[in-house]
């Protein structure tokens, strides 16, 4: 993730901004409504925002792609707060990282929102929801959210890179090569994120079960 400044052609960078801003706008509306109805959720929102910022700021360079691997954090936030709120928190984290740490870029912010904030949040939330409906335990379902959200993030990033850099090769071929380049670093990170997500969600369920009440229904 964290596609850097200048890697994407200007027209592609602009095109990714359109859906990114749509999701971000919807998330901001939902977050405003949440805080109005449940002002007690402010500490959890702040904590999850800080968590995403910190965990996704631990980069591992990927040789040959000009980008990095790292955990995402958005799947856990999606379980606890819903995917739209997680999208907002991921977007803010990505913007701050681009402005102050040179991770990502302003022109590539829209593309990075789509991969980590949107893709990681919604894929992780869907994996959690489907796993729970299939009768899997809370820890396993949360772990599935972590690993699926993480890998989907990098699948989307690989597609974005393929669109930008495919040249005379086909987009699917370059996508496969890019995604394969991520896997040696990303698979261990995805497993670690799955274990951490599962542990935190189970701990919260045991200590503060009300936080998870209605988790599958939140925006």
**Cα-based torsion angle of the residue sequence 3, 162, 17, 156 in order, rounded to the nearest 10 degrees:** -80
pLDDT at 66: 56
pLDDT at 217: 40
The structural domains of the chain, ordered by start, are 10-217 (1.10.1760.20)
Q: Assign 67 to helix, strand or coil.
A: strand
**Cα-based torsion angle of the residue sequence 122, 127, 128, 133 in order, rounded to the nearest 10 degrees:** 120
Tokens of 97: 């990282």
- The Cα 133–Cα 138 span in angstroms is 11
Q: In Å, how far from its chain's centre is CA 108?
A: 15
Q: pTM of the predicted model, to two decimals? A: 0.91
> pLDDT band for position 185 (50/70/90)?
confident
What's the pLDDT tens digit per position in 115-166? 999 999 999 999 999 999 999 999 999 999 999 999 999 999 999 999 999 9
């Amino acid at each position: 993730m964290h596609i850097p400044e200048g890697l994407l052609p200007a027209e592609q960078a602009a095109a990714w901004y359109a859906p990114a801003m749509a999701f971000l706008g919807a998330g901001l509306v939902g977050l405003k409504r949440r805080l109005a109805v449940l002002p007690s959720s402010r500490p959890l929102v702040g904590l999850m925002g800080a968590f995403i910022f910190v965990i996704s700021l631990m980069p591992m360079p990927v040789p040959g792609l000009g980008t990095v691997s790292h955990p995402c954090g958005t799947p856990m936030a999606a379980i606890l707060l819903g995917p739209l709120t997680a999208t907002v928190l991921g977007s803010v984290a990505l913007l701050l990282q681009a402005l102050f740490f040179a991770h990502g870029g302003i022109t590539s912010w829209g593309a990075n929102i789509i991969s980590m904030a949107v893709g990681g949040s919604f894929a992780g939330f869907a994996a959690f929801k489907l796993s729970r409906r299939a009768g899997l335990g809370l820890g396993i379902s949360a772990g599935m959210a972590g690993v699926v959200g993480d890998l989907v993030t990098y699948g989307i990033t690989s597609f974005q890179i393929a669109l930008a850099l495919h040249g005379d090769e086909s987009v699917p071929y370059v996508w496969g090569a890019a995604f394969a380049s991520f896997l040696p670093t990303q698979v261990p990170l995805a497993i670690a994120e799955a274990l951490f997500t599962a542990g935190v969600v189970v701990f919260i369920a045991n200590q503060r079960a009300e936080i998870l009440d209605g988790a599958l229904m939140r925006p």
